[in-house]
Amino acid sequence: MRLCFASLFLLAALPMPASADETPPEVMDVATKYLNALAGQGGDSGKELLLGGVSMEAELLQLTSFEIRSRDPVRKEQGSLATVKRQVRELDALANHALDKVAAAGGSGETVGALTREQATKLLKPTQEKALQFEKTFPVLAYVLRMNKEIYWHPLNPMRKILAQAGDAGTYTVVVYRFVIESRESGSAAPRQWPLRVVRFRTDKIDTGWKVLPASDWSIE
């Protein structure tokens, strides 16, 4: 019996071993199609590879050149959806409580679904302990959700919507390939480096396929 309980506990978040293999062709294909679309090569269909659909940032960004400078080791994780959903509900409850206090003090009432950057920043402190607990238990999923960052509360964070559709039972699998891109943009002479993340999230009810995790107008992270 003890052995069974131990196995169930480990299911909370089971990091899968990183692979030293080359980037899978399908992952590389998504990354290059997206970058080519930003550079005006091969049409705009590559922008549709963004998780959650084409963002305003992707619509406006125009690259004059780009280079994939490096790739981090692949990150993989499998975990319990029931535990994830419970912790997310607890986190949202803390956030809504913090917003209620702001409204009671004379501020405008808001919900976690529609926040400005400034309001999201105010939520980081009262929710930090719960967010760090989530990060410790589910480090890769937390990374994809941007847990403990103001972007987590962004109303257009696609992973929050996907997680809501993922079901409440069984397990999830999430895989992340992170590339460092150096690019030059239209109207700017100086190059910049930024992260490009290709992710896949799967449960019994949903499979995103390989998609580019979008940045936000708040931050490239």
The pLDDT, as a whole number, for residue 128 is: 77
Given a cut of 50, the residues of the chain with pLDDT beneath it are: 1-11, 16-20, 104-106, 218, 220
Give the whole-angstrom CA distance, residue 184 versus residue 186: 7
Query: With the CA atoms of 36, 38, 44 and 45 taken in that order, what torsion angle do they form, in degrees rounded to the nearest 10?
Result: 60
The pLDDT, as a whole number, for residue 150 is: 74
Give the whole-angstrom CA distance, residue 178 versus residue 31: 10
The pLDDT, as a whole number, for residue 96 is: 76
Structure tokens at 169: 């039972």
Q: Which residues contact 205 (CB under 8 A, 6 or more apart)?
A: 165, 166, 167
Q: Are strands 171-185 and 63-71 parallel, antiparallel or unpaired?
A: antiparallel
Spatial CA neighbour of 177 closest among 163, 196, 157, 205: 196
